[in-house]
Amino acid sequence: MRNYDLTPLYRSAIGFDRLAQLAEHAASNKGNSGYPPYNIELLDEHRYRITMAVAGFSMQELDITSEGDKLVIKGTKAEQDTERKYLYQGIAERGFERTFQLADYVTVVGADLEHGLLNIDLKREIPEALKPRKIEIGTTRLIDAE
């Protein structure tokens, strides 16, 4: 019997754990490399943070787009300085595009770039009509129309 590692299914889904949607997303996300590395943090019950290592990218070279249930982060490097001669170049300067599947009612609150780390804050805001509510038990009686 084979053991299946489902860890990749949880790497790019934030705010929900619907296995069928995760499996579908993972199957369609074949070309997603491990660059750039990132973390997903649960800050509290309704707040999340994605921290992505984007060393070498400036704010102008990064683009964050939230559309529907998808969060897309793109990095596009500007032209290389041809006057520099590297003996070794270990800092990746290639462009990237990373897509995250967001759950219902999860929105992007803000983003900042500090010390080569891009922090994207997310929040789940469930509408009042969909929140659970307590029903008081009373003595409500139906009155017959006479």
Provide the CATH number for the domain around residue 100.
2.60.40.790
> Pairing mode, if any, of strands 62-67 and 47-53?
unpaired
pLDDT of residue 25 exceeding 90, the answer is no
Pull the structure tokens for residue 108.
Answer: 């992007």
Per-residue model confidence as pLDDT tens digits over 26-51: 555 555 568 899 999 999 988 999 99
Q: How many domains does the chain have?
A: 1
- Where in the sequence is the domain holding 60, given as residue range(s)? 7-126
Is position 81 within any domain?
yes
Per-residue model confidence as pLDDT tens digits over 57-68: 999 999 999 988
CB 77 within 8 A of CB 93: yes
Of 89 and 124, which is predicted with more confidence?
124
